Every structure is written in structure tokens, then in C-alpha cells.
Structure 1
Amino acid sequence: MTRITFVATRKNTDPTERELYEMDLLCRALGFQRAFLDLGIQTVMACTPPGVSIDLVDEYIDPIAYDVKTDLVALSAKTSCVTHAYEVARRFRAKGKRVVLGGIHASLRPEEALEHVDCVVTGEAELLWPRVVRDLEAGKLKERYDADGFPPMDAIPPPAWGRSKPDSYLFHQIQTTRGCPFRCRFCSVPDISGQDFCFKPVERVIEELRALPRSRGPIASGKPLYVVDDNFISRVRYTKELLRAMIPLKKAGQIPSWSAETTLNVANDEEMLDLFRDAGCSTLIIGFESVTEASRAAMDEPVNFCLTYQEAVDRIHARGMTIIGNFIVGLDTDTLGVFQQTLDFVQKTGILYPFFSILTPTPGTNLFDEYKAAGRLDHEDWHLYDTRHVVFEPTNMTREELMDGYVWLYEQAYGADNLYARIERNWKRRTHGSNLVEKAFVAARLAPEMLKGDAELRRHFKQGIALMMSRHLASDAGQLLYLLDAYDFARFMRRFNTFARSESYRTFADRSRWNRAPAGVPEKASDLEKLGGMQWRNAKAVKRTKTSHPVVR
């Protein structure tokens, strides 16, 4: 029988590495081994023809056995992880194993990938994979398989959840849509999934929700669900139909609380917001990207101008949902004021989970092509293209200022004063919170982290636990865990501060220095000042806010 070994590789082999979305502290506290397993691997596994033996190795959980008896090793990697995937492939090939690589980076750089593996699969692999397996069995495996178009969503089987260890992962995952018609300069989604929105039939989504693996125990049974769509509200009619179909499942306790990525335009439709709430959505993940008008316009992202940011955030919060706000720093239109301006916006709006990224021109994006043509890329060391390293020459700041500004944002946003001000504001707004048993459980799970932490960490955690235990707040113990995990990541990021840290931090706090051009660049203070206009002063957004329905309080 033909045997295929799927391997989910780490970003690298550094045991001290900390990745924000891996939620290491949170997983340790709750007893999970990893936040989630790549849904793409699980879906391709489900497309394997019958009669083929398949195994899965998750390097985040188990070491890779390079001597495994297998006919093919299947890897998938995004750009920031492909360097290590190439090394894993090299070690397997040294043992005489054939290796196939798919995923975003191989799809955009197939010739490069073929220098490291025996076979490359480009594009969405669901319809291609059975052909790859048949050729393997016939001894006719080709070097390259290119997807012809995009598979209809109703032809994609449910993920092979049974092949992984569901109890090891914090999140359930499903996908309902693919594709995006927009051509944002920093995004490669249209090149991978197409520019047309594709939808999984509502009844299929409901079937998958009902079939989510049922874990045992009080923690595992309450695992949250993450909808991995790039834009869950890509078609309003479909989204509303799906949300209405999910409401009975939520009422029956058949689906957990869940989160999804949307544009901020979700707030322009208050009926949709009500449906999100009624269907059990707890968190919306929204790409604000930037708070300035100039940077938003420079991204070629034709969304998020429906309302002022403040009004949109208020409408979401009024339904009891929290927000993960994604922000990018380092655009050519960003001045040295972008760091303080972004932090001020987060604190003013009370966005509970701000996540920050350094602008990264990844292969397959217009941004990469532009920067490469202009000679602005520092290198093509892909493991550093992870949105937390500076890989290009910025315009209105130095590389060191951009790196330090990114770290400063995390330190400030998740420092005790700012973090607990946002949490308290959020918990005062809530009507229901965790019970005493849940709070005591979380406090007990944080105790080992406090014992091995330094004085700063212990003070921070102690303050958070005290706030959670307050009888005057509808506190959420789970939210505290998520936020302390982000604080843990902020501490980790300090290792990336540059030699110019002290001077950079003084600059971020001194508004008179924000419009200073970097050394060697002619002063154009008037031009730099024009870049500071805020989104909430956008005439269209202001007009629509004034004429829209009031927020439901």
C-alpha cells in the first residue's frame, strides 16, 4: 500500500521562538500543545484517494522521524516558514525520500522550490492532489503540478480532523469562502485563491459545524472556533443566510463561541451585526491597517471607508463583541508619529486585542514587485519575511526606528496601565461574565507562570487577576488569558530592539520630532505634516456616520 507522510513544519528550530498566533502561554495554561493546525494540510489529506495510507506529523508537537518508511513526504509552507521547510526536505531527501511541496510560497516561487524538493504543487491543491497520488502509485510523479482554476467550494471535502489529534489544539477551524476581488498592494490572496468570491453551500457549512470533533473535559469541550476566511462578509446575502442558519445551532449549544475576519464595513449593516451576535460570534478580526488617510489610500485597499472608525467600533462593541484590530506600520506614508497615533487610537476606542505588523513585501504582491524594482529590499532571506523584521528601506524613518517602533507599540499596548484600562472599560460594558469557579481556575493556571516569571511579570499578572476577581465587573477569565498571552509576546519581542532604542523611544514621545526626515533625506516637513490626517476626518466616512442609524446601546 502506498504511504504518504504529511509534515506540518515549524517556522524554525529555535526552542525559544515565540509566535503570536501560536499563543504559547495560553496553550501552556490550558494544557493544549498548539493553537491550531494548518487547515490546508487537513483538507488536502481529506482529498487523498482511498487505499492510500496517510500519516501526519506536527513538528510543533512531535519530532520528525526522518527514517520513516514512506513513499512521499508532503510539506506546505508560507514564505516566512519555507526556509525551514527546505531544510526538512533536504534531510528527508538525504534519506532517499521523495518530497512534494505546496502552499503559498511554492505557488508563487515554483522554480525556487524545485531546487529543494522533487515535486511542486501550485495553486489550490484539492482537485490536483488525487492526480499527484495516482502518478506516484504509477511511478510517474512529475516535477510540477499546476492548478487549473479554482475548485468549487462544494467539491472540497471536510478537513481530515480524525487524522490529527484534536484534543491537542486550542481552536476548531472551518472555511466558508475563498477568493478576493481586491488587489491590495500588500496581499497575495487573489493570486492564490482567485479574484472571484467562492462560497461553500450553507448546508455544507452547517454539516461541518455539527461534525466538529468533540473533545472531552471542561476545557477541551469549550474550545473556540476560528473561521479562517479572508473576509467572512464577502457577499452580504450569503453571510446573512449562513448566520441565520447558525443561530439554531448556537441556541442548542452545538457550536462554541467563534471569531471571523471581516472588513470594517460589517458595521455599516446593523442587521448583520445583530445576526453575528445572535449566531454566537464573540470576536471580529478586522484589518484597520492604518489610522491615517494617506496610508489607507496608499494600500489600494478599497474597503473600510464606510464609517468613521470610532462609530464602527462602537457599533460592534454595543453588541457585546470584542475586536482584534490588525495594524501595519512602516508604509511610505507613515511618519514617526504613526506609533503614538496608533496607540492613542487603540486606547480611545477600547480595542481589546491590537495586533501590530511591520510592512512586509512578500512575494506575489504588488508591493514586493515595486520594492524589488526600486532596489529597496535588503535581502530575500525568507525566514525574516514574517511581519516582525524590517526587510526594506523605509521612507520617513530609519530601519532602527521602524523596528523599535514596532516593539514599542506592543510594550505600550500590553503594558499594565494601558491594557487594564481597556479591559476594565470592556468589562464595565458587558452584562455577563465568568463565574467564580472559572475565575479561580484561570488564577490557578496562571500561578506556575508567575512562579517562574520575574518581578515585572508577577506584578502584571497579579494586577490582572485582581481585576478579574472584582465583583463590580462582568469580567471574562478567558479574555484575561488571551491578553496576558499577548503581553508575554510583547516581552519576547524586546530581544529585537536595536542599539537606537532609547533615542527612538524619546522620539515617539516627542511630537515635535515626528516630522523629521531621516538622516540624508532632504527635509520636507510640510509634506510630512500632510501625511498625518486621520481616517475619522475622511469626508465620506463622516457624512455616512452622520446619516447612519445610532448605535444600539
Structure 2
Amino acid sequence: MVPHFYRKKHERKGNNMDSKGAEKPITKKVAIIQPFANTYVSHRKFSNLITPLKAFTGSNIFVSTTTLHLATLLKKIGCQVRIYNDITEEIDPAHVSEDIVLITIVTSSARRGYEIARLFRDRRVIIGGVHASILPHEALHHADQVVVGECERVLPDLIAGRNKERIIDIKPPADLDEVPHIDYSYLKVPPKIISLQTSRGCPFNCSYCSVSRIFGRRYRFRSPGNVLSELLNYREKYGEIRKIDLRPDADFTCNVERAKEILRRMISEGIIPKSIVANARLEAYKDRELLSLMSQLNFTICIGIESINQNALDEYNKKQRAKDIDEAIRVFHDHNIKVYGYFIFGADCDEPGTLKQYADFINKSDLDIFTVTVLTPYPGTALHNRLVSQRRIFEFNWDYYDSFHVTFKPARMSAYEMQKVFNDFYLETFSLKSCLRPKLLFDIDSLKNQLFISLMTKILNKSFRRYEESLKIQAAEHKRLSWKLGSVDIHSS
């Protein structure tokens, strides 16, 4: 039976009802295809290289939470569903028997998603996901229909063919307590890490982020009881929960009282994993009861530090004070909570030496885990709009919108220089030697994470260096032309 939250009043009678007044199941055959963001190497080579690494870290190897969520929704309404993974198998239309093809894309996988869509011109193709939600008219060139936003409420009508709109903009969004729990039967083995989304939306409007554009400026929550029921159901089916990843939430602690109630109930039910990873804003360190609960549940808190320069934080509209960062990390550590710091390189105030400042700060603050990425002007963000208006974006190939490639003209260095110092920093900071940090040697999970990043960096370094070299060649060519024409080059300072 179709879950009641899918139904609208005007749909409860008519052709979708059987003779007894119950809704007919939608017995369509649907393929969900998860495209590979193929910037670096061929998907087959990438799969062969990364599969053992992902297995070593205990991650769900290649099927995203979004894909599993879609499969669960479709199964609930009666569809026969098969997941095709572009990383682990070749997408050959001759071997895909389903009549409807769903493709969900992020920006870095958009081009590959469109390539796959062209293979299925004889089928009904529906594209959704973050990138399609931001640029639906672009996606529509490659699909019969495009879904903008959250798909739960529209899915039955869409799959049954009752909704024939080309671009389907979904309002209002789903009630999260009525969204089905993920069905892990689509995986060959149960995941070692269970990934949960307990909220959607974000009231903040960081310039580089599109979360509020996709899910709205208001937090929407699952109730503590609903979250606990999913965890209990998982434990009943698959045994003890080893790890929980709450990072699908923009900020698990956004409603502190709700977060504390979830953690209290977990402790009461004896759900105490080896580790829980969650996003949180910096100010979470101020609630001592929350810290105590997190400590009991082996938390790693992922903090968007982004920069230690207040000017950069202000440019990002981060609503965060640089002077609070040190104290927050210290307090988390005092409660035996690990800190995973996210940093961004590329603000207008950043210079080549900024990465050295990050490295010094990371060592001084003794961060457990960290990631540094290149500032990327993703479509739909305030950053993208600003840089387009300033004519500073020179690369619109979505393959390179992955937070590791420079796609715009920085303010205080050339694009080539920014890419080179970033590549140098990454290769040095995440070398295999970095895994010998004393802190990592006594923390097997953090060591695995660092080793995974180190090996990935080594694998992808050639690709990053090729892009760096292309920027160098472009910079030289533009410099030569600008000298001839007396014009200003977008690539050089």
C-alpha cells in the first residue's frame, strides 16, 4: 500500500484505487543509476583502486544514502527496483531491462549523468538531485522530466505517469517523520556504518553552500522517537550498530534539546556504537550536558572551521568568531570528543602562505582529523553569483566542481599558483608519513581515515598535477595575448 504521506486529498479516489477502495500499488520497473564523477581516472580503474581502500575503512563502499533512500521509497509504493552503480559496473542499456530510469546528480557528476541519460533515449528518464534542483533547465536537455527539491510527495504520481510536468518543483516538503526508514536489503552485505538523516534545512546562509537553497532556511526535524525506532529496527535485523554517520544533517545539534533527547534515549536503549560522527556548529561546545552525552557515545564532531582569519569568515557569511575556535577545540577535547576540522582555501584575503598558517594551527590545536578543500563556486550559491557578476569564473566544466580544482580567479594569487600550492600542501600533509602522527597510532579509526586520504591523494596526484599544468599553460598563453593586446588576463595576478 502507498504510504499515506504520499497522498493528496484529490488523489484518494479515482483510477489509482482498486475495487475495495485501497490504493493500487505502482508496479513499474525502475532503474536507479548512480553516476560516477569521472574527473580523475576511468571509472573501472578507479573502482579497482578504491574498492579495497573503502572496504578497509568500513564504509558502505559505493551506494550513496540518497540512492538507498530512493530505492526504499519506490519499493514502498510497489515498484520493482534495481540499483546500477556507474563505478562498479558498466552501464549498458542492453543489460538494463527497466522502463523508467532515475538518475540523481551532484555538480561533479552532472556531465556523466547526462552522458548516461543519452544512452536511454528509448526509455523514460527522470533526473533529480542537488545539481538538477539548482539548474533544472540544463538537466531538462537530457531528461523527460526533472525533479526540483525533495521527491517524497511527488514520487507516486511521477512514476505512475499521472504527473506529466517537465519540471516538477515540489512544495511543500516532506514531513520527515513519515519518510520510510532506509531499506538496506539492496546492499550485498549490511553496512558497517549506518548513515542517518535526522533533519533537513539550515537557517544560515554561508556564501559557498547551497543547503538552504535546496532544503530551505528553516530546520525540519525527525522526532527523537522516530530516530530511535530506525536504530532499534536496524539492530533487530542486523545486530549491534558499530558506527553511526549523522553528517547528512547540516547540523545535528541545531536543536540542542532534541539532540540531547536522542542521545539520552540511545544510552537508555544500550545503543552505544564505537563511534558517531556528526556535523555541528562551533557553539555546540557551550552546552556541557550535550558534551557529557556525546562523550558517553564516542562522538567525533565535524566543525566547519573554514578559516582562522575573521575576514575570510565574514566573507563566507559564516556567523562565527575566529577567536572562539581554539577554546571550542580545547573544550571538546577535555570531554574526550574528537574534532574533525573542515578548512577552505581561496577567500579573497587568502594568500599562498595561508595554507602554512592552517598547518601550524592544525598542529598547535592537535586536531584529530582535518580536511582542506579549494573554495568552489557551486551553482546556486551566493559565491557563484558574486564571482559570475565579477567575471572571475573561468571554468564551467562541472567535472571540476569537486572542491579540489580551482575554477575561478583568486584575488591575491593566480589560479595556477593557488592550484599548485594546494596540490603541494595536500601531497605533503596527507603523505603516508603523516599516518605516523603519535595521536593517530593510538586511534585505529582516525588512522584508517588518514591512511585512506593518504592513499587517495597518492592515487589522484597525477590528475591534480595535470590540471595544475593546464592552468600554467593557460596562464602563459593569456599573458602572451594580454601583452599583445594590452588586455588584462583573468588567470594571472
Per the normalisation by structure 2, the TM-score is: 0.82
3-state SS of paired residue (1:231) = coil
* Paired position in structure 2 for 1:511: none
* Paired position in structure 1 for 2:245: 226
Which of 355, 365, 370 is equivalent to 2:386? Answer: 370
Alignment length, in residue pairs?
Answer: 441
3-state SS of paired residue (1:308) = helix
Rounded Cα–Cα distance in structure 1 between residues aligned with 2:260 and 2:113? 40
3-state SS of paired residue (1:225) = strand
Which of 403, 406, 414 is equivalent to 1:390? Answer: 406
Aligned partner of 1:77: which letter?
A: I
3-state SS of paired residue (2:31) = strand
2:464 corresponds to 1:487:
no
Which of 113, 116, 120 is equivalent to 1:85? Answer: 113
The structure-2 alpha-carbon separation of the partners of 1:492 and 1:369, relative to structure 1 and needing over 3 Å to count, comes to same
* Paired position in structure 1 for 2:19: none
* Paired position in structure 2 for 1:60: 87
* Paired position in structure 1 for 2:53: 26
Which of 322, 339, 348 is equivalent to 1:332? Answer: 348
Rounded Cα–Cα distance in structure 2 between residues aligned with 1:350 and 1:309? 12
Deviations 1:203-259 (A, max 9, x none): 01001111227797xxx976522112111111112111111112123xx35645211
Shift of 1:61: 3.1
Deviations 1:327-367 (A, max 9, x none): 10011111222110001011111112211110000001011
Rounded Cα–Cα distance in structure 2 between residues aligned with 1:380 and 1:242? 42
3-state SS of paired residue (2:93) = coil
* Paired position in structure 2 for 1:210: 232
The structure-2 alpha-carbon separation of the partners of 1:344 and 1:78, relative to structure 1 and needing over 3 Å to count, comes to same
1:313-324 to 2 correspondences below 5 Å:
313-324=329-340
Shift of 1:398: 1.1
Rounded Cα–Cα distance in structure 2 between residues aligned with 1:237 and 1:178? 17
2:146 corresponds to 1:120:
yes
Aligned partner of 2:306: which letter?
A: E
3-state SS of paired residue (1:379) = coil
Sequence identity (%): 26
* Paired position in structure 2 for 1:295: 312
* Paired position in structure 1 for 2:103: 75
Does the 8 Å contact 1:210/1:254 carry over to 2? no
Rounded Cα–Cα distance in structure 2 between residues aligned with 1:343 and 1:71? 52
The structure-2 alpha-carbon separation of the partners of 1:329 and 1:23, relative to structure 1 and needing over 3 Å to count, comes to farther
Rounded Cα–Cα distance in structure 1 between residues aligned with 2:281 and 2:189? 30
Shift of 1:326: 0.8
Does the 8 Å contact 1:154/1:201 carry over to 2? yes
Does the 8 Å contact 1:325/1:353 carry over to 2? yes
3-state SS of paired residue (1:212) = helix
Larger relative CO (CA 8 A, sep 6+): 1 or 2? 1
Question: For the aligned residues, what is the CA RMSD?
Answer: 2.8
Deviations 1:275-327 (A, max 9, x none): 1112x23311111111111111111111356x622221111122222222111
Aligned partner of 1:5: which letter?
A: A
Which of 14, 25, 29 is equivalent to 1:3? Answer: 29
Which of 302, 309, 315 is equivalent to 1:285? Answer: 302
Aligned partner of 2:224: which letter?
A: V
Structure 2 unaligned blocks of 5 or more:
1-26, 473-489
Structure 1 unaligned blocks of 5 or more:
428-467, 469-474, 503-517, 522-553
Aligned partner of 1:209: which letter?
A: L
Deviations 1:513-546 (A, max 9, x none): xxxxx9975xxxxxxxxxxxxxxxxxxxxxxxxx
Which of 37, 40, 46 is equivalent to 2:72? Answer: 46
Which stretches of structure 1, 4 residues or longer, exceed 4 Å deviation after superposition?
16-19, 22-25, 213-216, 220-223, 253-256, 416-419, 499-502, 518-521
Rounded Cα–Cα distance in structure 2 between residues aligned with 1:410 and 1:215? 41
Shift of 1:33: 8.2
2:363 corresponds to 1:344:
no
1:179-258 to 2 correspondences below 5 Å:
179-212=201-234, 223-227=242-246, 228-249=248-269, 252-253=270-271, 255-258=273-276
